A and B are shown apart, each in its own frame.
Chain A
Amino acid sequence: MDDNKTDIKDFLAFAYSFYKTVKEFKINLVYEGEITHQIIKAFTSLTETNMEIDEESTSIQKKVFHVMVESLQNISKHADYLETENQRKEGRGVFMLGKNNGNYCITTGNVIARANVENIKNQLIKINSLDKEGLKTLYKQQIREGRLTHKGGAGLGFIDIAKKTGNKLNFNFLSLNDDFSFFVLTSTISKNI
């Protein structure tokens, strides 16, 4: 009984510290769960409305929309799952949208098989090494040579995000166990573009 009470107290404290952390990092939207087409539509539509209210330029609005769609679709198409979890489902992850000093920050986090880490890391390092022209060339090469996967992925998402934002992609891989890692990706849309 006492244990239960402590649990609830801890939980209420957690709710408040979570709220504080979200405020501290200036996060406007945070979600953990399955990323479906409906979720993507809801989040982009909500964000569009907020950007209208904030009177953002059309250019910023379009870029934020682009990066949100590609980031969310990356989770829905590529996220793996931990076998130990009860929710054995693909396509789940964390999504966060923040706005700090006028810059939009879009973050995704999801489980991936460790076997894929090297490949993703190399792609991201390559993309970060390229300038605007280099990204265009890579995009044209990938759109010509790449094939649509059965889930509808074109292998263009990261390149497109880098092209549209003009900023480097920040990423990290945290090891979860022998077979899985947690992949975090953050992209920024600067207010002055």
Chain B
Amino acid sequence: MEVIKIIGTDDTPNVILDANNNIFEISGRSLPEDVASFYEPILDWLDDYSEEANKKTIFDFKLVYFNTASSKLILDILLKLEEMYEAGKDVLVRWHFPDDDEDMEEAGEEYADIVEVPFEQVGYSLD
């Protein structure tokens, strides 16, 4: 499968989707000018990937900021992972948040409530 690698900017996140190396990661800041078109290739990629998913998929979210428009698209990604999980694939979502960022931790909890997929919260220190 092709690899998606997007270098982040101050308003778009880093994205790595690399099935061969088992890396699935979105990190950084997300407030793109046009959220739908930014996330569209990512959602399309996941559609293709779900047809031939690896034995285990660990999807890492390590965002420091996202706006409400992005939050909707992040949910769309999680819903695709949920579909894969419900189809019998081994899927784990890891939600990384800075230790002192309650809002980001809470955002993870809310997503975990909404989607039916194994979900792990991982706090990290910025120092």
Contacts and interface: CB of A to CB of B under 8 A. Distances in A.
Interface in B34-90: 34-36, 65, 67-69, 71-73, 75
Contacts of A140: 110, 113-114
A69 B29 CA distance: 12
A177 interface: no
A132 to B, nearest CB: 10
Contacts of B69: 73, 148, 152-154
B118 to A, nearest CB: 19
A62 B11 contact: no
Given A154-B71, A156-B71, A62 B110 contact: no
A69 B67 CA distance: 7
How big is the A interface, by class?
A: 20 to 34
B113 A143 contact: no
A143 B67 contact: no
Nearest to A193: B102
Contacts of A70: 67-68
B31 interface: yes
Contacts of B65: 62, 65-66
A153 B65 CA distance: 17
Given A45-B10, A152-B34, A154-B72, A73 B67 contact: yes
Interface string B1-40: 0000000001100000000000000000001011110000
A5 interface: no
Contacts of A62: 65, 101, 103
Interface residues of B, number: 24
Nearest to A148: B72
Nearest to B37: A152
Contacts of A152: 34-36, 69
Contacts of A116: none
A160 interface: yes
Contact of B101 (A45, A58, A144): A58
B100 interface: yes
Nearest to A58: B100
Contact of A148 (B36, B101, B103): B36
Contacts of A156: 68, 71-72
A62 B102 CA distance: 11
Nearest to B68: A156
Given A59-B102, A70-B67, 9 more contacts: A37-B11, A58-B100, A59-B100, A63-B103, A73-B67, A143-B114, A148-B35, A154-B69, A160-B68
Q: Which 5 interchain pairs have the tightest Cβ spacing?
A: A156-B68, A37-B33, A154-B72, A152-B69, A154-B68
Interface of B: 10-11, 31, 33-36, 65, 67-69, 71-73, 75, 98, 100-103, 106, 110, 113-114
9 contacts: A65-B65, A143-B75, A143-B114, A146-B72, A148-B35, A148-B72, A153-B69, A160-B68, A164-B103
